[in-house]
Structures are given as structure tokens and as C-alpha cells.
Structure 1
């Protein structure tokens, strides 16, 4: 499935636009829940819809962007079936997918360059979950 949900606050607008163009050029369909402005907004308003789409299975993956990436990740992780990973290098992204089956990538726009963020997105979408011993651990993340 090549559908991706993306959400951002005012700190991530430029990154969202560049990532969206990059992914659309690769054949992805983007559901844009982010702001298109640099005017200050409340990030949860733009992150919850991404997490809802992932949680419901409407999309397999989401990308969320805010200044530090922390608020976005905290918001997304309130949803069941969501494993949002705050990442700042491709190596951390790869481990989040391989070991944690992360299904949302949280990008800290103020702490990564745009080329770095695009490379992280590619790594996120190209890396498979390893399963095995990691599956047992991932199963223990959700609260019931």
C-alpha cells in the first residue's frame, strides 16, 4: 500500500511540502492533515488525524513533523495500535522499524536538515520489521 498520512505544525510546513513532493514523485498518495502556514498552531490538531488513520488501518504509515518532534510523538502515541518513533538519524529510523515496528515517524524539524529528513523518510518506508523476538516485545507495548 502506498498511502501515507502526514501532519505538521507551523515548524514543519516546509518539511511537509518537500516530503510530500518527494513521496508523490515515488508514487505515494498523501493524506495531508498538516497546516500549510507558518502561523502558530496547536500541533495536536494536526497529529491526531494522522494517528487515527494509522490506528484504523486506513494507512499503514504516518509521518508527523513539529519543531522538536516530541509533542507530535507524544500526541500520536496516545492512540492504540500506534508506535510513533521520534528519530533524528537514518540509523535510529532503521532500528525503530526493525525492532519496534514503528508505524509513525516523528521528525524534529528544528534539529534535522531537510535532506536528512527526506533520507529518514526513505529509510522508514524501505525498512521491514524483523519480527521474531521483537514481535513479543512489541506485543507488550499496548495497554489493554
Structure 2
């Protein structure tokens, strides 16, 4: 599995710890930045990660900013992306099972690193259930064509 990861300057510390956590699990990571704590804007990282997932250069994506909201909004502008902001493992799990989310975002100002790891692990361990949920995913995809 290959995961694309990106963050703004606020998410640097979490990003580095998340990368280490995932690499210890044998997951390949592509780091799209930011690479320093110098102020930067989150949309460029949301776009870069979303495009990596869209183009199947990565299987999934992870995004981190202060709240996870702004960076996920940027990612969700890319066709085929279903990015979700999560602050708890249960929502992360259900977002994959029911919505087949392909990018997980969280806020480094909202969740501590240990909770972030639990959220990520719950999301990665979950599998899309398909069935009745696929119809809803198809409806969401149709909205992208409007």
C-alpha cells in the first residue's frame, strides 16, 4: 500500500510522527510537504495529495492542517476524491465502510498524536461494504458532473 501525505506548516510535527508510525507498519509513504514550519498555505498540499490519489499514484491520502477542514475542502474539489475530516476512530471507520473515503484529514490542533494514530489505524483497517452504500457513492459521483 502507498499513502500520499501532505500538511501545512501547522501539521509538520504530526506529519513526521504519522510517517514514522505508518512506515513501521510497512506502508510506503510519499510526502508532498510541507517540509518546514515556515508559514505556508494548505490548498497546495490538499491538491497535491488529491491528485496523487486521483491518478492512482497513491492508494490513499492523509492530510493535516490546524483543523483538517481547510485542507480537506481543497482535496474535495478534485474529481473522484472523498476526503473526510475525523476527530475520532469510529467516524473514520464508518467513513470508509459506508462512504469509501480515499483521503483522511485531521487537525493537529484538534487531536493529539496518539489519537491521530488510532484514527488512522481505524480508517486503514476498515473496508468499504459496498451494497446499498455504492448507490450513494454513485450519486455523489454524479454531482461532480453538474
- Fold shared by both chains (TM-score > 0.5): yes
What's 1:134 paired with?
A: 133
What's 1:105 paired with?
A: 104
CA distance in 1 between counterparts of 2:35 and 2:121 reads 22
CA distance in 2 between counterparts of 1:73 and 1:36 reads 19
TM-score by length of 1: 0.97
Shift of 1:108: 1.1
TM-score by length of 2: 0.95
- CA contact under 8 A between 1:85 and 1:96: conserved in structure 2? yes
Gaps of 5+ in 1: none
Shift of 1:57: 1.2
SS of alignment partner, residue 5 of structure 2: strand
CA distance in 2 between counterparts of 1:5 and 1:74 reads 17
Shift of 1:81: 0.9
What's 1:46 paired with?
A: 45
What's 1:13 paired with?
A: 12
SS of alignment partner, residue 141 of structure 1: helix
Count of residues in correspondence between the two structures:
143
SS of alignment partner, residue 48 of structure 1: helix
Shift of 1:37: 1.4
